[in-house]
Amino acid sequence: MLKITERRRSTRVSNLHTLCCWCCCVSDMESCRVPHHVLLSFTLIFIFISIPVPASAEDTVQVKFNQRAVLPCKRRCSGEAKWTLFSNRSVVVAQCDQTSCRSSDGYKMSHDQYLKGDLSLTITAADYSKRNRYTCVCDGDDIEHVLLSINPMKSSLHIYPGEDLQLELHVSERVEVTYRSKYSGDLYGEQICSVERRSLTCTDKYTWRTSLTNTLLTLRGIKVSDGGVYSVQDSVNKEDLHIYSVSVRVPGSADNTVLVKLNQPAVLPCVRRCSGEAKWSLFSNKDVVARCDQTSCNSSDGYKMSHDQYLKGDLTLTITAADYSKRNIYMCVCDGDDIDDFRLRIKIITSSLEIKTGEDLQLELHVSDRVERKLHITDGHGAEYNLISDADL
């Protein structure tokens, strides 16, 4: 960073010289000469502009959680080379000199590399405790400032009303949770809780419902209105650590109903790239009707999942002919996580019958259990029969 800045500064100064010389060539020497104090103030202004900005993009190393990270620093260093925390220079995570290198747990500098002029720092597994700005130092001079940043994790959770929501905060210091309702137009949401030195503080609305165990925040008694996006953020840099999309739903609620005609195919959509086992199971008895993994799909009679679609991140279930026995709540599951659920319903069939006095009336009940009959006389000439199951499936 400093290196780049210095190079840029000298380029700019020499441009100024070029400009001046060009002036001098095309016109009279005396009238064109830039007064010394003007040149000086240009230089001063530029020095002011080029003070290193800590958050610039080129000095950030971003990795996935628990991945190896390499913080670059190129400088032939004859004496002591070290990496310190930017925020506290007395914390040295690794150091090298002509004889050897030493480092704290999880950090590494290579002596071979040091001798070749490469002072890079390797962080073996970038967890949240390692997120920091680090400074590469050679013989007391700062060479680089590098920020280690971890890609935010993303989870989507489906929770039934009354259950608890658990959010992993990953750290117990300087972290906050913001909530953005599904229905709110607010882009950033509101801060609901913060944690400082292992102690939890929440807004009035949340205090009595929340608790903290190590780095796990629990929000009790979830309501449908709690659905939305919860972001776990570093409260200093406002950097997202984990983003949870939470949907709260009544099993088989109206907005997730698939209504089809008797014996027609039904399509239950579920979009999710699933690296492991994807399956559809019944809410009533947890029976699995179809499943897929990387090698193949396998399904019960009358159900189908496509392996091509599975590989593309589409876990849609096709029911070839929706009869009354197929009415149920179907849950789409990826690697043990509920992704979505649907209630399959079949359109009510209306038939009009003409029967002469003395004839028998026959009603098809379609199912053998949980059925009640409602008789409804429409006028003097006929009758209308509605078959409605007691479970209203």
Ligand X SMILES: *[C@@H]1O[C@H](CO)[C@@H](O)[C@H](O)[C@H]1NC(C)=O
Binding site for ligand X (CB under 6 A): 88, 90-91, 288-291, 298-300
Output the six-digit token pair for 345: 């319903």
Residue 359 gets which letter from DSSP? P
Other beta carbons within 10 Å of 330: 26
60 vs 298 by CB, closer to ligand X: 298
Residue 319's identity, in one-letter code, is I
Please provide the DSSP assignment of 126-190 as one string.
--GGG-EEEEEEETTEEEEEEEEEEPPEEEEEEE-TTS-EEEE-S-SSSEEEEEEETT---SS-E
Contacts of 274 (CB under 8 A, 6+ apart): 292, 310, 313, 315, 334, 335
Minimum separation from the CB atom of position 153 to ligand X (A): 28
Nearer to ligand X, 101 or 288 (CB): 288
Cβ–Cβ under 8 Å, residues 309 and 317: no
Nearest approach in angstroms of CB 295 to ligand X is 12
User: Measured between alpha carbons, how far is 388 from 345 in angstroms, rounded to an integer?
Assistant: 12
We find the least distance from the C-beta atom of residue 303 to ligand X, in angstroms, to be 8
Rounded Cα gap, residues 314 and 308, in angstroms: 9
Nearer to ligand X, 41 or 298 (CB): 298
Q: Are 162 and 221 in contact (CB under 8 A)?
A: yes
CB closer to ligand X, 100 vs 296: 296
Is the CB of 39 or the CB of 288 nearer to ligand X? 288
Query: Contact 341/335 with Cβ under 8 angstroms?
Result: no
> How far apart, in whole angstroms, are the C-alpha atoms of residue 287 and residue 304?
15
Minimum CB distance to ligand X, residue 71 (Å):
19
Q: How far is the CB of 300 from ligand X (least distance, A)?
A: 5
Which one, 24 or 85, has the nearer CB to ligand X?
Answer: 85
Work out how close the CB of 93 gets to ligand X at its nearest, in angstroms, rounded to a whole number.
Answer: 11
